[in-house]
A and B are shown apart, each in its own frame.
Chain A
Amino acid sequence: MHILMLAFKSIVNRKFTIALTVFSIALSIMLLLGVERIRNDARESFASTISGTDLIIGARSGPVQLLLYSVFRIGNPTNNVSWKSYEEIKDHRLVAWTIPFSLGDSHQGFRVLGTNLDYFNHYQYGDQQPLEFSQGKPFSTVYHAVVGADVAKELGYSLEQEIVLAHGTGKVSFVQHADKPFRIVGILRKTGTPVDRTVHVSLEGIEAIHVGWKDGALDLKQPKTVDKTSLLDLQPKTITAVLVGLKSRLAVFRVQRYINEYPKEPLLAALPGVALQELWDTMAIAQQALLAISILVVLVGISGMATAILTSLNERRREMAVLRSVGARPWHIFVLFMGEAGAVMTIASVTGVAALYLAQLIARPIIQTQLGLFLPIHPPSSHELFLLAAAIGTGLLVGLIPAYRAYRYSLADGMTIRL
C-alpha cells in the first residue's frame, strides 16, 4: 500500500518529535503491563506460599492475622495454643498429620521457628512441593538448627557452623545467649516463600533459648549452661500455631467447627486458601487504584499523541493538497494519518514491552530479596496481550479524530494550498 509507505516516510522525517510521543506512550504501556504483571505474579507467588495444609489452627483471632504470623511470619500472635490442646488435635481421628509452630524469636533479623520433624515431612508450598535439603539433614537434638536458603546465603552460613539464637524478634537483640550456641545441620533448598528466611529448630530448642528467662527478664537464679539445659525437661507448655492435614478433605468443615467450638480454650481454625484470598482482598483497593492510575497514564500518553498529530495537521494541509493533485483520494489522506497513529502505537507497544522485560530483569533480584515475591520472567500472558491490544485499539480510536479532520480538510480544500 503506497500511502502507508508515505506515512512511514513522513514519520521517519519527523522522528525526533514523534520519538517523544512514542517514548511517553511506551513508558505508559510499560507501567500498565508492569502493574498488571506484578498484580498477577504477586498473587500467584502469594497463593503458593503454602499448600497441602487443610487447616491452620491458632489462638482465637482473625484468620488473616493467623495466616500472617504463622505462614508469612509477620507480626506476633496475641495468644498461644496449649500443649494439651495440640495433643488432642493431633490425636483426633480425622487428622492425618500436624505440624506444631512455635514462633517469637529471631536471629539476625530472621525469624526462628520451633517445630518438629513433621515439618520436613508434611510442609508443602507451591504446587504441593515438599521441602528439600540442599545440604545436610533435619535437626535431631536440641541444639541443631536448619536454615532457609536466604538465611544461609545472606549470612554466609555453612554446615556445622555455630550460631546464637536470641529471645525476641528485633534485628538487634538486647541480650544474646552466647552461652547457648546452635549448630547448623541442614540448609534448605530455595522455595521462594518465607521458609527461605527462617531458622528452624526443634520445639525443645525454643524452650532451651528461654531457659533462665522469666517474663522476658533474665532469671539469675536459674542454671543456664549448655549441658544443663540439655538435661532439663524441655517439653513446651504452649505453641503458637498448628498446621493440620486431614485424612479426607471432605472432613475439613467438620474439623473446623470442632476446633472453633473447642471448649477448653478459644481456638481458631482457618482454611489457608480462604485466608489467603481474604488477605489478598484487603489489598484489592490499592491494586485497583494502581491499575486505574496506570490506565489513566496510558490515556494521557494517547491524548498527547492525538494532540501532536492535530497540531501537525495545519502545517500539513499543503502536503494534503499536493497529494490530492496527484490523484490521492480523501480516504488516502485518512489512511495517511491513521497510519501515523498506528505506527506510533505499534512502535510504542514494542518499545514498552521490551522496556518492561528489561526493567523486570533488573528489578527481579531486588524484589525477591526485599519483598520475598518471586516474579518469574515469562512471555506476555493472554491477559497482558489483551491490555496491550486495548491500549493499541484506544490509540487507533483516538487516532480517528485527527485522521477524520484531515479527511474533512482534504475534501474542503481540494487542491487549494492553504497556508
Chain B
Amino acid sequence: MMMETDAITIQNLAFQWRKDAAPVLNLPVLQIKRGERVFIMGSSGSGKSTLLSLIGGVLLPQKGTVTVLGQQLNGLSNAQRDSFRAEHIGFIFQMFNLIPYLSVVENVLLPCRFSRRRKQNIENRGHSLQDEAERLLNHLDLPRELLHRSVTELSVGQQQRVAAARALIGSPELVIADEPTSALDADRRASFLKLLLNECAEQNTTLVFVSHDSALEPQFDRSVQLADINNSVN
C-alpha cells in the first residue's frame, strides 16, 4: 500500500505515553503525498503534537509503523533517527522557536550544523550559507536591518518568520509546523501563512501544518480531522 510518492505513511499506529494510560493515538492509516500541503486539525490535547513527534522520530510507536520519505523509522537507531530528522525535516513551533544567544542568521543556519546534506544542498546551488539565509529571510519579508540583531529584540511575528526560514533552509523534503500562527493576530497570521505556503510551493516541500484554527483550512491542498482518523477514545 505504501508508495514511493508518499512523504509520510502511517499504518496501524498505536501510541501511549504511559503503560497504564489509554493510547493517545490509534491510527489505522494516514498517508501524505510528496509535495502535498496538508492541514491537520484537532482540539487541544487530542494528540497533534504527539503525532508530529512520532513523524519526527523523537517518539516511537508501541505498535505499527511510521515511514517517512520511504524510510521506516522504527528500524532506525536513536542516533539514526536524530540524524534523519536533521537531514530531511524542518520544524516550526508555536513560539520560542529561537535560540536566544544566536543571531537571526545563526538561528536560520542552525540545521546546517547538524545536517551535512542540507548544507550541501545550498552549496550545490552555488550559494553561500549566509546568502541563502538572507535570501530566505528576504522572501519571508523580514527587514534586512534585523538580520544581525539579537533574536530577543524581534516581535513574535518576526520570530516566527525566522523559524520558518530555519525550517526551510537547505531544502528539507518535509516541513512540520505545530500551530506556528497561534501566537499571531489575524493579519499577521494570514501573511505568515501565505509566505510559508509560497515558499513550500517554490521548493516543492511537503508541509504538514497542525492547528485547531479551522479558518486556515481553505488555503491547503487537503485537510484532515485528527478525530476522524484516530480510533482512540479521547
Contacts and interface: CB of A to CB of B under 8 A. Distances in A.
A14 interface: yes
A12 interface: yes
Contact of A328 (B87, B95, B106, B114): B114
B71 interface: no
B182 to A, nearest CB: 13
A92 interface: no
Interface in B31-78: 49, 52-53, 56, 58-59, 78
Q: How large is the interface on B (under 10, 10 to 19, 20 to 34, 35 or more residues)?
A: 20 to 34
Interface residues of A, number: 24
B91 A9 contact: no
A415 B94 contact: no
B82 A417 contact: no
A408 B110 CA distance: 22
A414 B100 contact: no
A263 interface: no
A419 B95 CA distance: 11
A50 to B, nearest CB: 61
Given A326-B110, A416-B49, A12 B101 contact: yes
Nearest to A414: B58
B99 A327 contact: no
Interface string A406-419: 00000000111101
A419 B94 CA distance: 12
Instruction: Tell me the interface secondary structure of chain A in the complex.
Output: helix
A189 interface: no
Interface string A303-328: 00000000000000011011111111
B209 interface: no
Interface-central residue, B56, B83, B98, B101, by most chain A CB under 10 Å: B101
A329 interface: yes
A5 B99 CA distance: 13
A327 B81 CA distance: 9
A417 B58 contact: no
B115 interface: yes
A13 interface: yes
Interface in B85-121: 85-87, 91, 93-102, 106, 110-111, 113-115
A348 to B, nearest CB: 20
Nearest to B176: A325
A70 to B, nearest CB: 66
A171 to B, nearest CB: 62
A325 B79 contact: no
B80 to A, nearest CB: 10
Contacts of B161: none
14 contacts: A2-B114, A5-B113, A9-B101, A9-B102, A9-B106, A322-B98, A323-B110, A326-B113, A327-B85, A327-B86, A327-B87, A329-B78, A329-B83, A416-B53
Given A13-B101, A322-B93, A326-B166, 12 more contacts: A5-B113, A6-B102, A6-B113, A9-B102, A318-B96, A322-B110, A326-B113, A327-B87, A327-B114, A329-B82, A415-B58, A417-B94
